[in-house]
A and B are shown apart, each in its own frame.
Chain A
Amino acid sequence: MATAVSTSPEYPVKRPMPPVIRGLLWAAIGFLVVNVFISYVIDPLKGNPFITQPSVVLGWTAGLIGWLLGVGGWEEIILPAFGIMNKRPVTATGWRQYFGLSLHHKVVGIQYLVSSTGGFFIAGLAAMLMRLELMSPHMWLFPDPGQYLMTVGIHGTIMMFSVGTVALVGGMGNFLIPQMIGSNSSAFPKISSISVWLVPAGILTVAFSPLLGQWTTGWRGYEPLAQNDANGILFYYLGVFALTTSSLLVSLNLTATILFKRAKGLTWNRLPMFAWGMLVVSLLNIIWLPEIQMTFVMALLDRLVPFPFFTAVGSPLTYLEIFWLFGHPEVYIIVLPALTIWMEIIPVMVRKPLFAREWGVIGVIFVMMLSGFVWAHHMFTNITLQEELPFSFFTEMISIPTGFAYMVVIGTMWRSNFKLTVPSLLVLMSMFNFLIGGLTGVFNADPVVDLQLHDTFWVVGHFHFTIIGGMVFTWLAAMYYWLPKFSGRTYNSKLGVLGAIWVFVGFDGAFSLMFLVGMEGMNRWVPIYPPYLQPLNIAISIFAFILGAGFLFNLLHIWWAMRSGKKVEQNPWKSKSLEWMATSASLDDNFKEEPLVVASFYEYDDDKPAAIIPQQEVAASLS
């Protein structure tokens, strides 16, 4: 498909402006026109100041629409919707496909992964600045505490909404799911093709929020502080809106893909674990992302109009409730795909059938269902005593289905033929780190202990262990494991092991010390702290810099491996999963003929293929 350009002769070949440049241009025009209209024509102050709250919000909305239309939404979505079909641009080929709207799920997945990686390193840079500042108990790097707090907010927001919810869902999900279920495309390729372009827009919006002024709330946008902050908080709401819309659209597409595009014979009993993970995560997204979007619209109106929803004359606690109502499912949105990736990688690496598969599925489904009942454990210090108990109960109970992931993986590994490779090493590291994240969470679930731990660096350590430990380590494992799918090449084992140990040392050093510094009385959001806490903070910072460099090293290694790593056969891990039967490292159709699934993908005690592709001898490659 990469080369098959379907230009019909009756439409002259003309290459329009590169989509990204045209998107930027249209975005700029949209913003300027609307902003000028609001601030000069409607506003009685006649353009002084030029940027006002309403003008920037509406101008940004117009800019975002201009961007989406400019990158190709105009020809691909709007004109066809109105029945105007004959103005399709020339389909891009080669590298140009990656810089415009693409209907190919692999291109979209890679676009998502690149955006997500960009967000990861922008937010990572923010984290490095924070750690640099915290090496001294006084202000020295940032001119004032507000700027430090804004850096904290940018770090958290970009990490949460452009990496945590995006990398494994929009990225790996779009790239892998159609291949894993034996389809050539996702159910609604147009949806994903446009939604991916919301991610860079959202990241840049949040990253450039300081242009409008300091906001000090952190990633949670707590009210009524958000009402007191300068206008930068507007770009927080708007950026998050763009990013969550992107995840929402992806989830709709992935749900439909998994429900309706499965190959023949791919029954629910044979559905790959990662597809199960994507399905439950998508359902969580479909329920909770519109919820937080509506909440942020209300918070935005609170400032713009102003409505007194969440100020002291309204109800600040209502914001906290509906924020965390989304906020806790959010962390399961981040970690559930990771748990299912463990179950994908481990059976292949240990050459043993996936153990107690049905309990793995039950686990993720119950986590999904319980995740809506636990939100107020973020609010033990806000709510009254009698409200604490039910949330404490459900929070403790949710560890049971989460533990099923460990039960399944440990059962699979037991008495197996364990191959220690970079992916399996990273999965083990991820299990170790997520275990610490989970067990420290037991302390947080207990109100009497949580009243001491809440809002300290203990909590910072806890949630980084669950999110970096659970999700980012697994993301790395997934990148190394599926690397041949991207480029037909593989990584260098020694460099891979070095990279894994490097991030492990940096990560565990930095974040396990955070538990101690938190218990010693270091609370969150403080660039100025009592001097007795300095030695531990210096140690944390040094480990954090090691960690940052480790991520950079892994990025460079993966990039190098994709371009000039060792070439490998199509199915280097001898996996039975369908994605390894699909074409690798090219944008041709995944399957020339629709495959027929005949057995489970996780049976490694015989050499029968799990799926047959008619008229192709791909199955032979397994033996």
Chain B
Amino acid sequence: MIDLLLFLVFWIILSILGEIGVSVWGPHFYYYTASTQALEGLNASLFLFRVLTPIFVFVVLMIIFVPTRFKAKRDGSIIPGKRARTNRAYVGIWITVSIVINLLFFLHPTTSAAEEQFNQLQPAANTHDLIVDVTARQWEWRFGYPQYGVNAAVDPAGNDVLYLPVGKKVEFVLRSYDFNHPYDMGLDVIHGFWIPAFGEKEDVIPGETRYEVITPNVITSTEVNPMVRVQCSEVCGPGHPVMYAAVHVVSMKDFLQWVHAQHKAGN
């Protein structure tokens, strides 16, 4: 009984310390966030950290507690006396708790976040979105703004670039084909559209169209933090590591100005 009590005391103390650690360090888990979707992911993972910390502490403490507390004192191979073969309470609690926690995780954050994502993709919720056509090929990203008549946005140096207005929902339309070789449109590979600071990625699959909805919530750019960059996340051949593009999240005014400049440049 004293063993159990001692263990419980350690477990509670260390779990509390762990939870404090989660509070302090947890919000930095995503390092840098620049969209509401990244914040949702961060909140979901903070919830997971909160629940998982006592479990982690429990097992790790067991791994340390048992060899120190129950260290073999005698060398004999047989310890006389009937030893526990099972314990209904322990097994029952273990199984119940693991089922309850997993069901909880499925309800929240899994299903609750999925519901949120469903809502974001509802047509009714997307009437005034900014639509960005994202085309991936080996090995280049191209960004088009059909609502503004921009086919392929490039910066003055001629590199593909992604400009987004802050606080406005953006719907990325993701397709993979080689726009430079229209005679073999079909022949490209799977790419991954990822902006680390936006907290979401979606694969770009040849022959299919995928959508991703993002609401940038901070004015930022690749120069401010390199996590704000478009990075191909799915291996797509030798050019995969260099398949990235700069991202600028700007105010609506600056965005319109940029669109104007793109028109002038004939993009």
Contacts and interface: CB of A to CB of B under 8 A. Distances in A.
B41 A452 contact: yes
Given A455-B201, A528-B241, A385 B121 contact: yes
Interface centre among B111, B194, B232 (most CB of A within 10 A): B194
Given A382-B203, A392-B114, 9 more contacts: A229-B237, A316-B207, A355-B85, A413-B70, A415-B84, A420-B72, A447-B113, A454-B201, A605-B78
A407 interface: yes
Contacts of B60: 432, 435
Contact of B106 (A353, A396, A420, A529): A396
A524 B192 CA distance: 11
Nearest to B99: A400
Interface string B37-79: 0101100110010001001100110110011001111100111
B31 A519 contact: yes
Interface size class of B (residues with CB under 8 A): 35 or more
Given A214-B238, A439-B52, A605-B78, A400 B102 contact: yes
Interface in A406-458: 406-407, 410-411, 413-420, 424, 428, 431-432, 435, 439, 442-443, 445-449, 451-452, 454-456
Interface stretch (B86-94, B162-170, B253-261): B86-94
B229 interface: yes
Nearest to B242: A528
Given A218-B235, A222-B235, A521 B31 contact: yes
Interface in B88-121: 90-91, 94-95, 98-99, 102, 105-106, 109-111, 113-114, 116-118, 121
A607 interface: yes
A393 interface: yes
A126 interface: no
A460 to B, nearest CB: 13
A352 interface: yes
18 contacts: A144-B238, A145-B240, A225-B189, A225-B237, A316-B205, A357-B85, A382-B203, A396-B106, A396-B110, A400-B102, A411-B84, A413-B62, A424-B67, A432-B63, A435-B60, A449-B48, A521-B196, A604-B77
B227 A521 contact: yes
A353 B83 CA distance: 7
A431 B63 contact: yes
A217 B235 contact: yes
A397 B38 CA distance: 26
Contacts of B130: none
A228 interface: yes
A351 B79 contact: yes
B79 A605 contact: yes
B221 interface: no
B232 to A, nearest CB: 8
B73 A417 contact: yes
Contacts of B109: 446, 448-449
B39 to A, nearest CB: 11
Nearest to B87: A411
Contacts of A382: 190, 203, 205
Contacts of B117: 385, 448
A406 B236 CA distance: 39
Nearest to A434: B59
Interface centre among B29, B83, B121, B199 (most CB of A within 10 A): B83
B135 interface: no
A448 B71 CA distance: 44
Contacts of A448: 40-41, 44, 109-110, 113-114, 116-117
Contacts of B67: 418, 420, 424, 428
A72 to B, nearest CB: 41
Given A448-B109, A452-B41, A526-B240, A399 B187 contact: no
* 4 cross-chain pairs, A with B, having the tightest CB-CB distances, nearest first: A312-B206, A146-B238, A448-B113, A521-B196
B86 A351 contact: no
Interface string B20-48: 00000000011100000010110011001
A315 interface: yes
A449 B45 contact: yes
A417 B70 contact: yes
Interface centre among B3, B60, B110, B188 (most CB of A within 10 A): B110
Contacts of B56: 435, 439
Interface of B: 3, 29-31, 38, 40-41, 44-45, 48, 52, 55-56, 59-60, 62-63, 66-67, 70-74, 77-87, 90-91, 94-95, 98-99, 102, 105-106, 109-111, 113-114, 116-118, 121, 138, 176-177, 186-190, 192, 194, 196-197, 199-203, 205-208, 226-227, 229, 231-242
B198 to A, nearest CB: 9
Contacts of B197: 521
Contacts of B188: 224, 312
B79 A417 contact: yes
A117 interface: no
A216 interface: yes
A220 to B, nearest CB: 9
B186 A313 contact: yes
Interface centre among B45, B82, B233, B238 (most CB of A within 10 A): B238
A451 B192 CA distance: 11
A479 interface: no
Contacts of A456: 233
Nearest to B117: A385
A326 to B, nearest CB: 19
Given A145-B239, A396-B102, A399-B98, A442 B194 contact: no
B229 to A, nearest CB: 7
A452 B186 contact: no
Given A224-B206, A312-B186, A416 B194 contact: no
Given A312-B207, A400-B99, A350 B70 contact: yes
A523 B87 contact: no
Contact of A521 (B94, B95, B226, B242): B226
Contacts of B95: 359, 400, 407
A145 B94 CA distance: 48
A428 B61 CA distance: 11
A565 interface: no
Given A411-B90, A414-B66, A449-B44, A392 B110 contact: yes
Interface in A278-305: none
